[in-house]
Structure formats: structure tokens, C-alpha cells
Amino acid sequence: GEALEVTREVNCVVDFIHGCEDQLQKLKKQKEKGLLYGIPVSIKDHINCKGHVSSGGMVKFLGQVMEEDSVIVQVLKSQGAIPFVKTNIPQTMINYDCSNLIFGQTLNPLDHQKSPGGSSGGEGALIAGGGSILGIGSDVAGSIRLPSSFCGLCGLKPTGNRISPSACSDRTFVLAVTAMLGPMARDVDSLALCMKALLCQEMFRLDPTVPPIPFNEEVRLRGNPTPPFSQQ
């Protein structure tokens, strides 16, 4: 409901992922509760979800319905998350704004006169508008970091090949900088939880090219800055 309201206002959702309710019922029956149990997660347009189109903001891909979930979506589901919407991007994703000729312009929920940034602009707008608490974007040269900055959120571009890149493998750009999928959320703890959930045996099994290195909580905490004076 929240996502619908936000997208009416800023045009950030391009598709609702069917089967959410069925997945929730399945999860309730599972004995093992994943790290992201019951958390709805928004997904950037180009990341493959079974039964949905990964348009890349381009008309030529609108007829291609994906036959299976990408590795990251499979892993999210195995950890109990519920992918529930796909979000808008600029055409071809090589842009720091967020509009295309299919779904139109996404606005910044904090100021409708401004852009949410790109290319994970739909994610930035949806999360900042209160329609999602955790999203998956992608980043080559700022596509997670820019919308996170423009929308006042936290985002992470992980180290290259840390997360399985098999999102839309049939139309890979040849780039000098590694494209990476990564989380976007309202706080750093949510990013850390998402990374911890993704870097699991299921991902390493589904994509053997990903180095099987789990998330290191100690390294994260070691990097924490000194807390503000008010907390000392």
C-alpha cells in the first residue's frame, strides 16, 4: 500500500511482483527462518525476476519475459525476503537521472523539482518516500551511490565479484569498471544485514565464480568512526 502511494506521487515503481502472498505462506511453513525473514525488498528493473520483464528502460526488451529469477533474487528468497516490486531506471542505465520513454520520469520524493539520481533512481525514490525499507540497486560509476546521496539514504557498492552479477547476463555492457549489485536502505545496519544475508552458502552454491567469503562483522565494526560527542 505504501509503495503504491509513493509511486503515485513520484513514479518510481514499474511492476509489482506477483506471487508475493504465496511466497509469504511458504515462508511461514519453513522451520528455518532466514536473516531477512518477512522483509519486503524492492528490486531494480534490470535484475531478472521470473515472469517479469527486465526492460533496461528500452522498448526492444519489453517482450522478453524472464524464465527464472537471477541468483540474487533466489538468495534473497532463500533468506526469507519477499521481492515485491521492480523500480524505475534511466534508459540503458548509463545516466545520473531517472527517466525513460516507457515509464517516464521519476521524481525525488524530498523535492519534486529535483531528480532522485540514477541509475537506481526508482530505488532511491521508493525507499526515501517510505515505500520500501530495503532495495537492491546496481552501480558501475555511481548508480547506487548517487541516488542514495540525492535521496538521503545509505547505499553500498560492494567490491567487484563479491555478489553474483548474473542479473541480466544476456545484455552485458563491456566496461572497464566492474558493475556490482548492492543494497540501498535508510541506515548502515540494514546494509550490513543485507550483505550478511547475501554472502551465504546458497549464493556460493548457485554461482561458484563468487569467492566463498562470508560477511565479516568485525571488519565492519572496526571501521566505525568515533561516535558523536553527545554519545560519548
Percent of the chain at pLDDT exceeding 70: 91
Q: Which of 70, 99, 115, 119 is catalytic?
A: 119
Which one is predicted more confidently, 178 or 106?
106
Q: Is 44 a catalytic residue?
A: yes
pTM of the model: 0.92
Angle at 78 (CA atoms; ends 36, 154), nearest 5 degrees: 40
Q: Is 143 noted as a catalytic residue in this protein?
A: yes
What DSSP state is assigned to residue 151? H
Q: Is 70 a catalytic residue?
A: no
Q: Does domain 2-217 have CATH number 3.90.1300.10?
A: yes
Contact 54, 186 (CB under 8 A): no
Q: Which of 70, 143, 148, 190 is catalytic?
A: 143
Q: pLDDT (tens digit, 9 = 90+) per residue, 77-120?
A: 999 999 999 999 999 999 999 999 999 999 999 999 999 999 99
C-alpha to C-alpha distance for 212 and 201, rounded to whole angstroms? 8
Q: Domain segments of the chain: what residues?
A: 2-217
- Please report which confidence band the pLDDT of residue 26 belongs to, taking 50, 70 and 90 as the band edges: confident
Identify the H or E element spanning 202: helix 201-206
Provide the pLDDT confidence category of residue 176 given band limits of 50, 70 and 90.
low
